[in-house]
Structure 1
């Protein structure tokens, strides 16, 4: 076991978002995403086969959905995005680093 601090050694994300796998096994993955002014391309939608729970730890961001909704996130805000919900990053803060924690997990039969 090793203690990890999600705010230490933040990579420079001004040129591109940085995705870092922190833990996971099988169909579950936990990652840190570091952004600095990025947005998804206008034609670029995420349509993932797994659910994604995301929390904004630092900075500000906005997620857009193909049904027209936009959700602005501030530090501490979390959102559970169901699998195959088309979404994109509308914007992330340009004046500070934005840090996300994302958990990707499979759809379950209940």
Structure 2
């Protein structure tokens, strides 16, 4: 499988696809195109998440002091378990392809 293939022409919602899923690690491909997390919702995960933007751009906002990071192609970030965050913006005119690794 190629992470840049099989991308639908229309993306009414974000796509979340497991590439690997075991009892200790999960690797997920995420495809966004202008998608965001609703402003009143936060990700609050039991696992740590290492994420890299392979293509496109995005912004991730953290609940601590409303800190926001702008990620571009190649940028990566480690989000600790229970560090509340949300996707506040993804580039609207092209796909943003993420690779997320969830681990304990």
* TM-score of the two chains, using structure 1 as the length reference: 0.90
Counterpart in 2 of 1:73?
71
Flag structure 1 segments of 5+ consecutive residues without an equivalent: none
Counterpart in 2 of 1:105?
103
CA root-mean-square deviation? 1.0
Counterpart in 1 of 2:15?
18
- Give the CA deviation at 1:13: 5.6
- Contact in 2 for aligned 1:19/1:34 (Cα 8 Å): yes
The question of 1:39 aligning with 2:36 is answered yes
Secondary structure of 1:56's aligned partner: strand
Would you identify which runs of 4 or more consecutive aligned residues in structure 1 move more than 4 Å? none
- Contact in 2 for aligned 1:13/1:35 (Cα 8 Å): no
Count of equivalent residues: 103
2:53 is matched with which residue: 50, 56, 65?
Answer: 56
Aligned partners of 2:73 and 2:28: how far apart in 1? 17
